[in-house]
Amino acid sequence: MQYETVFILTPVLSDAQMKEAVDKFAKVLTDEGAELVNREEWGLRKLAYPIDKKSTGFYSLIEFNAEPSVIRKLETAFRRDERVLRWLTFRQDKYAAQYAAKRRARRAAQPEVQPAETKED
């Protein structure tokens, strides 16, 4: 079955700590036999409402194929990690899976945006 999980990490992490946390959850999935389909890091974003007195968080998305028993282990890992503010995991129906595939194709077709270099006077 195809699943998608979005989770929010605390904003006090450095980029390296944030990437390490995302890698940890991806490893939980692969160790349980899940096949990772897509992984996106959306970066630091403003929350709709404060969570634990924090108004921003690092958003990450992982799409994967797995057996339903894997979800319980993933959510246990989320609960045990104090860096995770919130998460949502859901099973994609065929329409959501088609939409996700189109979205991935669009993202792959877009050229990478390079930051503009600044001149020093």
- Tokens coding 85: 């503010």
Whether 39 is covered by a domain: the verdict is yes
Residue 97's H or E segment, with its range, is: helix 94-109
The domain of 64 spans 2-109
Whether 121 is covered by a domain: the verdict is no
How many independent structural domains does the chain possess?
Answer: 1
Whether 119 is covered by a domain: the verdict is no
Whether residue 121 is predicted with pLDDT greater than 50 in this model: the reply is no
Whether 90 is covered by a domain: the verdict is yes
pLDDT tens readout for residues 56-113: 999 999 999 999 999 999 999 999 999 999 999 999 888 887 888 888 888 878 776 5
How many residues comprise the chain? 121
CATH of the domain at 38: 3.30.70.60
In whole angstroms, how large is the CA radius of gyration of the chain? 16
Whether residue 115 is predicted with pLDDT greater than 60 in this model: the reply is no
In 3D space, the residue among 61, 56, 63 whose CA is nearest the CA of residue 85 turns out to be 56
pLDDT computed for residue 3 by the predictor: 92
Whether 77 is covered by a domain: the verdict is yes
Percent of the chain with pLDDT over 70: 91
* Cut 0.85: pTM above it: no
Whether 25 is covered by a domain: the verdict is yes
Whether 54 is covered by a domain: the verdict is yes
pLDDT computed for residue 94 by the predictor: 81
